[in-house]
C-alpha cells in the first residue's frame, strides 16, 4: 500500500489559531525533494516558508493559494508516494477527520517527522558519500538538527543558526546539505524556472521575474547569503515620472477614481487588535518632558569609546528598561482578571515594515549594555524590513516604545499593545527657551513623552513615579552605565 500523509495547517506559537496559504511552490502532481520549499503560510505578522522533510509527490491540493484563512489543523494537501492511486487518495481524504485539533496541528507542522521516512534516494554519482560523525558542541542546536548533522557528517561550525539566540535548526542543517549554486545560472535574464534554482526567498524570485532581473551574480544579504526581497528591490529601476504640464495649457480632466486596496491579512489583524485595545482598555495618559542635552553629548562620547552607533532610541530603551525594574508595578501584562508582574524588562519597539506595524522585542533589556541593545535593535529592524521576523521575535513583551520623533512629530498618543499594560510615545527633540540662573535667556534640547496606561492594572501615581525615574535617568544619563 502506498505511503500517504496529510499536510495540515501548522501551529507556530500559542496565539496562532489560523493561517493563509500565500503561495504554493509545488504544483499538484509534482514531485518534491527533502529541503525544498513547499509553500508560504501567512500568519498575523509573519510569512513562514514550509520546507519538505522527505521526498514525495503532492497528490492532492485541497486549499489553493490566496484562499481564506484556515484554522490550525485543517487539511491543506495530501502527500504520497508516486505510485499512490487517485482512489487511495480519495479514501484517505474522506477518512481524514481529525478528532483533536492539537493532533492535527502536530501532523501539519511535522507530518514528515511523524510518518516513517521513505528510503533515501541514491546519491548522485558526482557527490561523495557522506560519513556519519559524532558531534560534541556547546552551541545551541535542536535535537533533530544535531541528529541530522551527525547522520550526514555536516560540520556545524560554519552554520549560522537562524533560531532564537542563534540556535541551529533542522532547516539550517538541511540548507547546509544543499549543493552550492555554480556558474551554470549565469547569463542573460533568467526564466522563472531558472530563478527558482538560485538561493533566494520566494518573494525575491517573484520580484526578479517580474522585473527581468538576473539573480545569478547577486550577493544576498540574508542568512547564509540568501537573496532577500530588499536585495532585489535595490535593483528595480524606478519608473520615469510623468512630464510636468505646460504652463497655460488647457485643463484636461483625468480619471480620478480611487484605487480600491482591500486590507491584506496583516492589516486586518492589526486593525482588529487596535480596535479591541482602544474599545476595551481604559486608557489614560501621562505627559512629561526631559532635557536631553547631556544625553546627546554622552551618546557622542560613549559611541566613540564603545565603537558602536547606538541611536538616541537605544539609550531610551535602556532608560525605560531600568525604570521598569525599579517600578515593577508598571512592568506588567494584563490577562483577564489577573496581572502578571515580571522581574525583567522585555521592551517592544514599534517598527514600520512592509507587512505593517510590528513590535519586535528586546529581551531583558535591563541586563544589556548599550552596545548590546544597539546590536539587538538593529538586527530586529533589519529582519522587520526584510519581512523575516519570526513568532519568537514578537511573542510577549512587558512594555512598548513607539518613537516618531525622527519624522518631526513633537507629541502623540499611542494605543496600548495588549496584553502589555503601557506604551511610551516618544516625540522629537526640540530647542526651547529657558531662564538661566543669572537671569539671561538660554536654550536647551527637550523631548516630549506621553505614556498611555491601562487603568485596570496601573494607577496614576505608579505611572507618574515611573516617568519621574525615567526623566531622571535621561537627564543624568551616567546612570545608564551603572
Q: Which residues are catalytic?
A: 455
User: What DSSP line would sit under 355-401, residue for residue?
Assistant: TEEE--EETTGGGS-HHHHHHHHHHHHHHHHTT---HHHHS--SEEE
Distance of CA 396 to the CA centre of its chain: 14
How far is it, in rounded angstroms, from Cα 224 to Cα 241? 37
Q: Name 92's Cβ contacts closer than 8 Å, sequence gap at least 6.
A: 4, 6, 78, 80
By the 8 A CB rule, do 426 and 313 touch? yes
C-alpha cell at 179: 549543493
Burial class (CB in 10 A: 0-12, 13-18, 19+), 338: exposed
C-alpha cell at 178: 544543499
By the 8 A CB rule, do 151 and 132 touch? yes
Q: Name 236's Cβ contacts closer than 8 Å, sequence gap at least 6.
A: 207, 211, 213
C-alpha cell at 419: 496584553
How far is it, in rounded angstroms, from Cα 403 to Cα 289? 14
Distance of CA 78 to the CA centre of its chain: 29
- For the chain, the first-to-last Cα distance in angstroms comes to 68
How far is it, in rounded angstroms, from Cα 388 to Cα 229? 10
Radius of gyration of the chain (CA): 27
Pairing assessment for the beta strands 422-435 and 399-403 based on DSSP bridges: parallel
C-alpha cell at 28: 499538484
Among 116, 122, 98, residue whose Cα is nearest residue 1:
116
Residue written as grid cell 499512490:
84
Coil/strand/helix, residue 288: strand
Distance of CA 49 to the CA centre of its chain: 13
Query: Is the link from the previous residue into 419 a cis peptide, with omega within 30 of 0?
Result: yes
How far is it, in rounded angstroms, from Cα 78 to Cα 7? 6
Amino acid at each position: 500500500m502506498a505511503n500517504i500523509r496529510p499536510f495540515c495547517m501548522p501551529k507556530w506559537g500559542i496565539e496562532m489559531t489560523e493561517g493563509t496559504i500565500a503561495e504554493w511552490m509545488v504544483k499538484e502532481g509534482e514531485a518534491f525533494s527533502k529541503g525544498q520549499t513547499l509553500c508560504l503560510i501567512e500568519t498575523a505578522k509573519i510569512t513562514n516558508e514550509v520546507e519538505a522533510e522527505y521526498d514525495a509527490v503532492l497528490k492532492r491540493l485541497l486549499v489553493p493559494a490566496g484562499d481564506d484563512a484556515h484554522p490550525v489543523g485543517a487539511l491543506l494537501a495530501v502527500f504520497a508516494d508516486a505510485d499512490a492511486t487517485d482512489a487511495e487518495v480519495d479514501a484517505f481524504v474522506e477518512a481524514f477527520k481529525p478528532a483533536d485539533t492539537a493532533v492535527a496541528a502536530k501532523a501539519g507542522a511535522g507530518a514528515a517527522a511523524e510518518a516513517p521516512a521513505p528510503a533515501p534516494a541514491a546519491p548522485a554519482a558526482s557527490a561523495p558519500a557522506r560519513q556519519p560523525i559524532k558531534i560534541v558542541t556547546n552551541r545551541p542546536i535542536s535535537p533533530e538538527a544535531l541528529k541530522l548533522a551527525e547522520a550526514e557528517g555536516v560540520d556545524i561550525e560554519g552554520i549560522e543558526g537562524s533560531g532564537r539566540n542563534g540556535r541551529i535548526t533542522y532547516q539550517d542543517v538541511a540548507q547546509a546539505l544543499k549543493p552550492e549554486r555554480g556558474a551554470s545560472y549565469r547569463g542573460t535574464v533568467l526564466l522563472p524556472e531558472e530563478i527558482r534554482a538560485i538561493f533566494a526567498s520566494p518573494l525575491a524570485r517573484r520580484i526578479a521575474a517580474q522585473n527581468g532581473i538576473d539573480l545569478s551574480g547577486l550577493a544576498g544579504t540574508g542568512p547564509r547569503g540568501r537573496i532577500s526581497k530588499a536585495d532585489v528591490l535595490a535593483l528595480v529601476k524606478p519608473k520615469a515620472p510623468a512630464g510636468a504640464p505646460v504652463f497655460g495649457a488647457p485643463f484636461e480632466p483625468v480619471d480620478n477614481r480611487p484605487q480600491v486596496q482591500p486590507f491584506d491579512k496583516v492589516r486586518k489583524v492589526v486593525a482588529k487588535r487596535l480596535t479591541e485595545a482602544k474599545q476595551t482598555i481604559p486608557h489614560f495618559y501621562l505627559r512629561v518632558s526631559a532635557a536631553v542635552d547631556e544625553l546627546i553629548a554622552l551618546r557622542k562620547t560613549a559611541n566613540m569609546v564603545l565603537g558602536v552607533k547606538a541611536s538616541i532610541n537605544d539609550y531610551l530603551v535602556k532608560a525605560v528598561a531600568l525604570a521598569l525594574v525599579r517600578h515593577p508595578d508598571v512592568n506588567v501584562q494584563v490577562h483577564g482578571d489577573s496581572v502578571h508582574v515580571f522581574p525583567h524588562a522585555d521592551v517592544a519597539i514599534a517598527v514600520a515594515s512592509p507587512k505593517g506595524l510590528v513590535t519586535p522585542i528586546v529581551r531583558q533589556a535591563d541586563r544589556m549594555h548599550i552596545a548590546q541593545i544597539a546590536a539587538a535593535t538593529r538586527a530586529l529592524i533589519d529582519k522587520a524590513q526584510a519581512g523575516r521576523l519570526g513568532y519568537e521575535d514578537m511573542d510577549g513583551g512587558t512594555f512598548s516604545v513607539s518613537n516618531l520623533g525622527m519624522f518631526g512629530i513633537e507629541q502623540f498618543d499611542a494605543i496600548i499593545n495588549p496584553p502589555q499594560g503601557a506604551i511610551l510615545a516618544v516625540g522629537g527633540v526640540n530647542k526651547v527657551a529657558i531662564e538661566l540662573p543669572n537671569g539671561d535667556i538660554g536654550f536647551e534640547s527637550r523631548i516630549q513623552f506621553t505614556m498611555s496606561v491601562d487603568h485596570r492594572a496601573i494607577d496614576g501615581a505608579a505611572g507618574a513615579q515611573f516617568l519621574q525615574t525615567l526623566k531622571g535617568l535621561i537627564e543624568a544619563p551616567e546612570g545608564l552605565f551603572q
